[in-house]
Structure 1
């Protein structure tokens, strides 16, 4: 099998699939420019993890945006995580590059909310997508993997909530990766216009075979003045998938963006999560949990940069490492110059349940202004033996006691997911990972 690499792809290759999908010329031009950057740029810097030998860019076949296949029978994995018969909720489902299902709630229709697969949005709302696609939250030329993403993006979702629109019902998206031959390069854009409100929850589901596979995922969330965005996610990509996951937020005056993320991928994963609090009185609360198993390595860099006066940034990360897995938590709270009255807090805790497992928690506070508040807490350790002894004295086995402690340790994030069915999914994923 011949693998495509950065060196074997040229502008003609990109133009050929761009023409097939009749995408706007501005995107094709951006793809070609990004590919030139991908050839010359380095991988992103990842503290305490050597990723140069990881496969982020090699694949055997390429697939561009897939044509919609609405009405197709949905994979069983999808019906486990979303109720497609719930008419009050807007739902989008995609397998590999193909959109399989899109339902807009009557509320979303009545209030003029745009929810479209990315390929359709590029055709029907080209100028609106162009305004936000890798221009604000994520730039295409940040590193080799963002450039690779911009050049070959082949799936995703676009959401726009107009000014003064508050959505009561949530939006849920399910992205299934099934074909391990093709790169899974997915892009989500959420724009909450002034004084709007929405709740969005996504699931990444892995159903790949045994072949080596890659996933390159970028999410951009723009919260304009006085907007409120709640973003939840549960990621469960396969053990054979090397994943680059980049979630970004850009938050303006009096706006808030809260994240509740269950990163439960089974393969090697690099996570870059940055929220820019640009406006005065902006805020973001980032909660992340993970369970590492097998031989996988996961590296999490979570950063909140605070530019606005009286901005508030909160980071909480809890991880459990089993077997011979590794989880690295890098937390960065950065209060920029002139951000007086800002508050940056973070907590990173790792629970190790194996002698071969490795966990690191690295809190960093960068303070470039006076008259601010900042603090951090970090710990790496094993389950408290006194807690286990107490639980066993109440009649629980050692396994049951450890299981109870793990669920309690991770519940601060599980409970924050805004859809009951997704909370249950994350609890079940955790349960499956800790069974030994």
Structure 2
């Protein structure tokens, strides 16, 4: 894979602004994109530990290739239709390549003030709300990839849940690409007002066939949870090996708010995944569970983080990775407790299971504590399938292959079992079978 000597070589901020104008975006957003694009040349790439992303084809941002808008879910391409529960009638938004092609929001939720649309549509219908939140948790100048994303984001989803409203059905987002030359940079923005409840399920996939184009998914998620709000966010990523998966997720929690992250990084190619919660409010809680499976020569950098600002805030992070063949995973957990966050409690666990001699996994728990009256802890392990467990299962008449498979599935079960949709759990199990053999 060629070295990325000039990350901005194929990036043109004027072209990005022209695309925005062509989509009739508001003047403030066109200027906003231009400003972000102008920063690209001056910013550095992020520097994940022991992951040489400069060798990845991150300069290939693609061209704007909108999908075909449809009026009903039945008209969606078969490859997309297989990614959601076709028998359901709940909230659904679908992005195909560079644009959202279908949105469904049942009247019962719309009548209560819930909004579900593409981010581009939200810029026209809810401009002030979008403007005050967009890329304030994930900043445009955080690094070069963030600035590129700010200039080029497309489609995505805007979900607004008013105060005291509970959306009883999970909101599903299907983000799919089948054009390796398309700009694929969805941005998901969720605003959950005080005491609201919602579950959001994101499914990122690609079906590129035999193309040699290097698709880059440069995606971002921002969640803003008001006082007492509860947001559950589940994501499964499964793209072709030629694609690169870049995903930055951020949440900001107010008093007594809660977020649950359930992340399945099952992508076939290189992965840069970063999920962080800012526990700004007192009594806020964050629960993050991540699984990833690496095969072939994949390189994966998976980071979870929690920043405690509010008093009596609590965070838990569990990451479980399975590596086979020559895959490499760098698993980082970072708990930061700021001065003044008294009675905060941060716990994290990173565990890596290696299935072959050439596979590698590093687990790096990090605690940064600036306050005395707190609790914090971590656990980390890197190892192979437990021989005693295999022997025990074989003594019960189970073959070695099946015994190892059961142990691996049991290792990943704490995250898989939490996925809020039956069909999506089944999909995750199918991906595991495909990747683990």
| TM-score of the aligned structures, taking structure 2 as reference length | 0.95
Give 1:342 deviation, angstroms: 0.2
Secondary structure of the 1:381 match is strand
Give 1:65 deviation, angstroms: 5.8
- Report if aligned partners of 2:98, 2:182 keep a CA contact under 8 Å in 1: no
1:36 partnered with 2:38: yes
- Structure 1 residue aligned with 2:424: 422
1:169 partnered with 2:169: yes
- Report if aligned partners of 1:194, 1:227 keep a CA contact under 8 Å in 2: yes
Secondary structure of the 2:83 match is coil
Secondary structure of the 2:403 match is helix
- Structure 2 residue aligned with 1:55: 57
Count of matched residue pairs: 430
Q: Distance between the aligned counterparts of 1:434 and 1:274, measured in 2?
A: 28
Secondary structure of the 1:155 match is coil
- Structure 2 residue aligned with 1:191: 191
- Structure 1 residue aligned with 2:142: 142
Which runs of structure 2 are paired with 1:215-364 in the superposition (5 Å)?
215-364=217-366
- Structure 1 residue aligned with 2:152: 152
**Per-residue CA shift, 1:300-346, capped at 9, x if unaligned?**
11110000100001000001001110111000111111000000000
- Structure 1 residue aligned with 2:19: 17
Q: Name stretches of at least 5 consecutive residues in structure 1 with no aligned partner.
A: none
Secondary structure of the 2:234 match is strand
1:368 partnered with 2:396: no
Secondary structure of the 1:108 match is helix
Give 1:9 deviation, angstroms: 4.2
Q: Name stretches of at least 5 consecutive residues in structure 2 with no aligned partner.
A: none
Which runs of structure 2 are paired with 1:73-222 in the superposition (5 Å)?
73-87=75-89, 89-135=90-136, 137-209=137-209, 210-211=211-212, 212-222=214-224
Q: Distance between the aligned counterparts of 2:335 and 2:39, measured in 1?
A: 29
Q: Distance between the aligned counterparts of 2:138 and 2:411, measured in 1?
A: 32
**Per-residue CA shift, 1:210-245, capped at 9, x if unaligned?**
322111000000001110101111110210011211
Deviates more, 1:48-57 or 1:350-359: 48-57
Give 1:8 deviation, angstroms: 4.9
Secondary structure of the 2:296 match is coil
**Structure 1 segments of 4 or more deviating over 6 A?**
none
- Report if aligned partners of 1:43, 1:144 keep a CA contact under 8 Å in 2: yes
Cα 1:428–1:325 shift into 2, 3 Å: same
Give 1:106 deviation, angstroms: 3.3
Q: Distance between the aligned counterparts of 2:276 and 2:204, measured in 1?
A: 19
Give 1:68 deviation, angstroms: 3.1
- Report if aligned partners of 1:94, 1:101 keep a CA contact under 8 Å in 2: yes
Give 1:66 deviation, angstroms: 5.5
Give 1:11 deviation, angstroms: 4.1
- Report if aligned partners of 2:70, 2:76 keep a CA contact under 8 Å in 1: no
Q: Distance between the aligned counterparts of 1:8 and 1:377, measured in 2?
A: 42
- Report if aligned partners of 1:48, 1:328 keep a CA contact under 8 Å in 2: yes
**Per-residue CA shift, 1:378-413, capped at 9, x if unaligned?**
000001001001111111111101110011000100
Q: Distance between the aligned counterparts of 1:412 and 1:9, measured in 2?
A: 41
**Per-residue CA shift, 1:30-53, capped at 9, x if unaligned?**
111111111111001201212112
Q: Distance between the aligned counterparts of 1:399 and 1:11, measured in 2?
A: 53
Q: Distance between the aligned counterparts of 2:301 and 2:269, measured in 1?
A: 11
Give 1:70 deviation, angstroms: 3.0
Q: Distance between the aligned counterparts of 1:58 and 1:31, measured in 2?
A: 18
Give 1:5 deviation, angstroms: 6.5
Q: Distance between the aligned counterparts of 1:228 and 1:255, measured in 2?
A: 6
Q: Distance between the aligned counterparts of 2:398 and 2:336, measured in 1?
A: 44
Give 1:6 deviation, angstroms: 2.2
Cα 1:74–1:138 shift into 2, 3 Å: same
Secondary structure of the 2:15 match is helix
Give 1:98 deviation, angstroms: 3.1
RMSD: 1.7
Q: Distance between the aligned counterparts of 1:20 and 1:244, measured in 2?
A: 26
Secondary structure of the 1:239 match is coil
Q: Distance between the aligned counterparts of 2:324 and 2:312, measured in 1?
A: 40
